[in-house]
Amino acid sequence: MSALLVRDVMAKGVVTVAPDLAYKQIVDLLVDVGVSAVPVVGEDRRVLGVVSEADLLHKVEFNGADVHAGLFERRRARLAKEKATGETAAQLMTSPAVTVPATATLTTAAQIMERENVKRLPVLDDDGELVGIVSRRDLLRRYLRTDDDIRAEILDGVLRRVLWIDPIEVDVAVTDGHVLLDGKVDRRSTAQIAVRLVRSVDGVVGVTDELEWGFDDTSLQHRHTFDA
């Protein structure tokens, strides 16, 4: 059983710009390619920053206005005014770029996007070089698996290979990504582990646990902890 990684869902044909690319050329590129942001990459394929539509719009926002930053202005307003005067990718980009390793899990990528409030992440290899880009939409690919594929991984990957449970003992039904577990296992802890592992299978939306067990070893563990 293996979870999807960022490298499994990322887009590999990444459109990038050089640090010295001019404002008008960046605008034309975004329109022509149909993207809302591009990484700014140096000659060594390392990401220097990201230029987005939001970065470019500062020039429109302050068009004809005084763009001299005040001494006591908040940092966000000051940066916006600085970008309004920018003419190249290096002057316009948001830096440092928020990136993610190609070997990160989709959960990690989603957490980074949420924390940093970004819609996409440049993907880096082990050497720190750009190898792709992953978007929020890419992260949803884990839920595009068929019910049959999900059920097969649970039976073989979770029950047989990890827990050494004969699939005959547990009935697994999958409907629109929702898993129903029914049957009987030897211990309560085994049932709990099974549910936890099934929840982590790519494509699983939810789990209904109707498993029974022959021996409640969790109460024994609690008693030993208390005695200690």
Of 113, 142, 171, the residue that ends a domain is 142
Report, in angstroms and rounded to the nearest whole number, the Rg of the chain calculated over CA atoms: 25
Strands (E), the chain: 37-41, 47-52, 100-101, 120-124, 130-135, 170-175, 178-187, 206-215
* Domain span at 156: 145-227
What's the pLDDT score for residue 98? 95
- Does residue 100 fall inside a structural domain? yes
- Does residue 187 fall inside a structural domain? yes
Short-list 142, 120, 174, CA closest to 11:
120
Q: What is the CATH number of the domain that holds 86?
A: 3.10.580.10
Instruction: Please tell me whether residues 105 and 20 are part of one structural domain.
Output: yes
Residues 158-187 pLDDT 10s: 999 999 999 899 999 999 999 999 999 999
Q: What is the CATH number of the domain that holds 216?
A: 3.30.1340
Question: How far is 96 from 43, CA to CA, in rounded Å?
Answer: 17
Of 86, 116, 142, the residue that ends a domain is 142
Instruction: Please tell me whether residues 85 and 54 are part of one structural domain.
Output: yes
Q: Is the pTM of this model over 0.75?
A: no
Segment 203-222 mean pLDDT: 87
When divided into structural domains, the chain yields a total of: 2
Please state, in angstroms and as integers, the Cα–Cα distance from residue 34 to each residue in 1, 38, 77, 119, following that order. 37, 11, 28, 15
Instruction: Please tell me whether residues 42 and 138 are part of one structural domain.
Output: yes
Of 125, 142, 159, the residue that ends a domain is 142
What's the pLDDT score for residue 155? 95
Residues 51-100 pLDDT 10s: 999 888 877 766 644 445 444 456 566 666 667 788 899 999 999 999 99
Instruction: Please tell me whether residues 124 and 164 are part of one structural domain.
Output: no
- Does residue 175 fall inside a structural domain? yes
Please state, in angstroms and as integers, the Cα–Cα distance from residue 131 to each residue in 48, 148, 200, following that order. 14, 32, 26
- Does residue 102 fall inside a structural domain? yes
Residues 43-52 pLDDT 10s: 888 999 999 9
Instruction: Please tell me whether residues 116 and 169 are part of one structural domain.
Output: no
Q: Per the structure block, which two tokens stand in for 34?
A: 């149909």
Instruction: Please tell me whether residues 112 and 161 are part of one structural domain.
Output: no
Per DSSP, what are the bridge partners of residue 94?
50
